[in-house]
Amino acid sequence: MSTRVGAGTEAPRTRAGATIDPGMSTLPATAPRPATRRPTRQRTAIAHALGESDQFRSAQDLHASLDRRGVRVGLATVYRALQAMVADGEADVLRTEDGEALYRACSPHHHHHLVCRSCGLAVEVEAPPVERWAAQVGTSHGFTDVVHTLEVIGTCSACRT
């Protein structure tokens, strides 16, 4: 399940001004974590930089942040590391309406996000009633292995003031 910004409602934007399309939502991180992914210097630096913010960030933003710190990592390496982190359930990815992938470090359990439309702040939230509803809808239509995503978009208290 995904949410859509209704008519007359401004689509959420990241700090960089990119519009977030909640209809694209996040991709579920359902793959099991591999037991032997090598913790390279680059991957460790990328994971650390990603974990410093509660906001979704682009690979280019992370690359620039690392470069400013003197950490030399190629942009292609940043993309590969982020894709691996998503596959391993260590990061979430949101797609903007123009297709750009934005990443955020996440916890390993299933969760949803409350995202600020002004600054991009993302808060992980659990929603047991949504989990039950999704399972019931799938079952009632004969589906199995049902997964879903949900993004709740609003304005955080810091941006309201």
**Beta-carbon count within 10 A of 128 CB:** 7
Q: What domains are defined for the chain? A: 41-160 (1.10.10.10)
110 known ligand binder: yes
**Does 119 belong to an annotated binding site?**
yes
pLDDT at residue number 92: 84
The response to whether 106 counts as a known ligand-binding position is no
| Residue whose structure tokens are 């689509």 | 11
Predicted pLDDT of residue 36? 59
pLDDT of residue 12: 43
> For residue 31, what are the CA distances in angstroms to 59, 66, 139, 157?
21, 28, 22, 34
159 is known to lie in a ligand binding site: yes
Q: pLDDT tens digits, residue range 74-111?
A: 999 999 999 999 888 888 888 877 888 889 888 777 77
Q: Are 22 and 2 in contact (CB under 8 A)?
A: yes
Q: How many helices (H) and strands (E) does the chain have?
A: 5, 6
> What is the per-residue pLDDT for 47?
92
Q: Is 124 annotated as a binding residue?
A: no
Is the pTM for the entire model greater than 0.75?
no
Dihedral angle at the C-alpha atoms of 95, 99, 105, 108, nearest 10 degrees? 50
Residue numbers of the chain with a pLDDT score lower than 50: 1-33
